[in-house]
Amino acid sequence: MDATTHHEEHHGPTVKMYFAIFAALSVLTVATVLAAKFDFAPMLGVGLGAFVNNAVALGIACTKASLVILFFMHVKYESKLVGLAVVASVIWLAFLVLITMTDYLTRTSDWHLFVR
Amino acid sequence: MSSLASSLQHHFTDFKQQKESVVLGMWSFLIQEVMFFGGLFATYTVFRSQYSHAFAEASGLLNVNLGGVNTIVLICSSLTMAMAVHAASKGKNGGIAFWLVLTILFGSIFLGVKVVEYKEKWDHGLIPGIHDEGLRFDHETHQPRPTGFWLYFALYFAMTGLHAIHMIIGIPILATLAINGLRGKYGPEYYTPVEMTGLYWHFVDIVWIFLFPLLYLIGAHGAH
């Protein structure tokens, strides 16, 4: 850890910043509810509309998670090694979901009939 | 000062090295938790991609207001947790206890609302493994539920249940920290247990940040 990160670590987020993050998280929570109630399908068509609804919901959730990780969990003020660990977890999770979906989304058999 | 000296484990050179090791160790645990919950999120993605209409219809039966209020309650508990860590870093032992008690309070409100919601689902006959009829047929219209409908509720209870278990484990840990704070066990040089428990609590908050839109909001614009 170099001198500048150590310097920052000593300061950390201020109380004012914690409350500002809290306010941002609350506003984003209201925003995600309003966005979910808004149907993009009439404007963009069923497929694209659903995609936009999902993208907005996940985009807001990722923004909220990033705020919590960077400020409440102090990752912004930790060593780069901790930041790397956090990024690694996101990449692993992306592998898990994306590689699984390359299988299920390309199946042509009626595997879903096993579900009642 | 003697209690501070005893909190430095003999295999570390100094507090800085101990702290860095502990932080990385805690994050390794949290990454394991990401994979733990990740399996459920991947399962959710697979089944929602196949039964999107059943998932939207089932999601429409959740109480968005209760879920939204609970989201705010959990964000409040994350703020108070961050404030507890902040108080600890300034050596304010009374402050640690004060903010942790608030965190426990918000955590308990969250779990209380969850009980109300689970009770609602029980009353509506939507518990997989118990209410097979309710998950196959709509009580009022007697119309059959769409294929995959019950899978949504199986995932709803598995995901929110696992999340709730994490909170139930967290609350006694917070209580222990509050008591230790009042006993003066932490100081501005050493408050690692408060900080690490904070990481755990914030992680649980992040899981909910994703659960809320994925479980409660996918039927909100009435896609039927």
Please name the residues between 163 and 222 in chain B that touch chain A, using a CB distance below 8 Å.
195, 198-199, 202-203, 205-206, 209-210, 212-214, 217-218, 220-222
Q: Which of B42, B52, B68 sits opposite A29 (nearest CB)?
A: B68
Cα maximum dimension of chain A: 61
Q: Please enumerate, as own/partner, the contacts of B202-205 that have beta carbons within 8 Å and a separation of 24 or more.
A: B202/A68, B202/A69, B202/A72, B202/A73, B202/B78, B202/B81, B202/B82, B203/A73, B203/B30, B203/B33, B204/B163, B204/B166, B204/B167, B204/B170, B205/A68, B205/A72, B205/B74, B205/B75, B205/B77, B205/B78
Residue B26 lies in a domain: no
Task: Supply the pLDDT for residue A105.
Answer: 86
Q: What is the pLDDT of residue A115?
A: 58
How much is the average pLDDT of B113-132?
93
Does A92 sit within 8 Å of B151, measured CB to CB?
A: no
pLDDT at A112: 58
For an interface test with A, which of B217, B218, B224 has the most A Cβ atoms less than 10 Å from its Cβ? Answer: B217
Number of independent structural domains in chain A: 1
B30 within a domain of the structure (yes/no): no
Residues in chain B with CB shorter than 8 Å from the CB of A19 are: 79
Q: Is B1 on the interface with A (CB under 8 A)?
A: no
Q: Taking CB atoms and an 8 Å limit, are A41 and B38 in contact across chains? A: no
Q: Does B21 reside within a domain?
A: no
CATH no. for residue B101?
A: 1.20.120.80
Per the CB < 8 Å rule, is B27 touching A88?
A: no
CB contact under 8 A, A73 and B35: no
Q: Give the number of other CB atoms < 10 A from CB of residue B62.
A: 23
DSSP B190: B
Question: Best of B48, B79, B83 to disrupt the A interface by mutation (most A CBs within 10 Å)?
Answer: B79
- Specify the long-range contacts of residues B155-160, CB closer than 8 Å, at least 24 apart: B155/B40, B155/B43, B155/B44, B155/B47, B155/B215, B156/B58, B156/B62, B156/B215, B157/B118, B157/B121, B157/B127, B157/B128, B158/B40, B159/B37, B159/B40, B159/B41, B159/B44, B159/B211, B159/B215, B160/B114, B160/B211, B160/B215
Structure tokens of B18? 């101990």
Q: Does B104 fall in a domain?
A: yes
CB nearest B151 (choices: A25, A60, A115)? A115
Residue B1 included in any domain: no
Q: What domain range is B144 assigned to? A: 37-216
What's the ipTM? 0.91
Residue range B19-33: mean pLDDT, rounded: 94
Question: Of B188, B178, B194, which Cα lies nearest the Cα of B15?
Answer: B188
Mean predicted confidence (pLDDT) in B128-132: 89
Higher pLDDT, B14 or A67: A67
Does residue B25 form part of some domain?
Answer: no
**Residue whose structure tokens are 């009580």:** B139
Total tally of structural domains belonging to chain B: 1
Are the Cβ atoms of B206 and A22 closer than 8 angstroms? no
Q: How far apart are CA B176 and CA B26, in angstroms?
A: 18
**Arithmetic mean of pLDDT, B132-136:** 85
| pLDDT at position B223 | 45
Determine the pLDDT at residue A43: 86
A48 touches B: beta carbon within 8 Å: no
A67 touches chain B (CB under 8 A): no
Whether the pLDDT of residue B56 is over 90: the answer is: yes
- pLDDT < 70 positions in chain A: 1-11, 109-116
Angstroms from B179 CA to nearest CA on chain A? 23
- In this prediction, residue B57 carries a pLDDT of 93
The Cα–Cα gap between A79 and A9 comes to 9
Structural domain boundaries enclosing A58: 3-114
Instruction: With cut-offs at 50, 70 and 90, classify the pLDDT of residue B153.
Output: very high
CA B148 – CA B151 distance, rounded (Å): 5
List pLDDT tens digits, range B175-206.
Answer: 999 999 999 999 998 999 999 999 999 999 99
B70 close contact with A: CB closer than 8 A: no
Q: Give phi and psi for A106, each to the nearest 5.
A: -110, 5
**What's the rounded Cα separation, in Å, for the pair B25 and B158?**
27
CB contact under 8 A, B50 and A64: no
Which residues of chain B have a CB within 8 Å of the CB of A69?
Answer: 202, 206
> What per-residue confidence (pLDDT) applies to B139?
81
Mean pLDDT of chain B: 92
| Mean pLDDT confidence for B75-99 | 96
- Tell whether B149 is covered by a domain: yes
Q: Do B221 and A36 touch (CB under 8 A)?
A: yes
Contact residues on chain B for A2, CB-CB shorter than 8 A: none
Q: What is the dihedral of CA B144, B39, B106, A14, to 10 degrees?
A: -140
Residue B2: pLDDT over 50: no
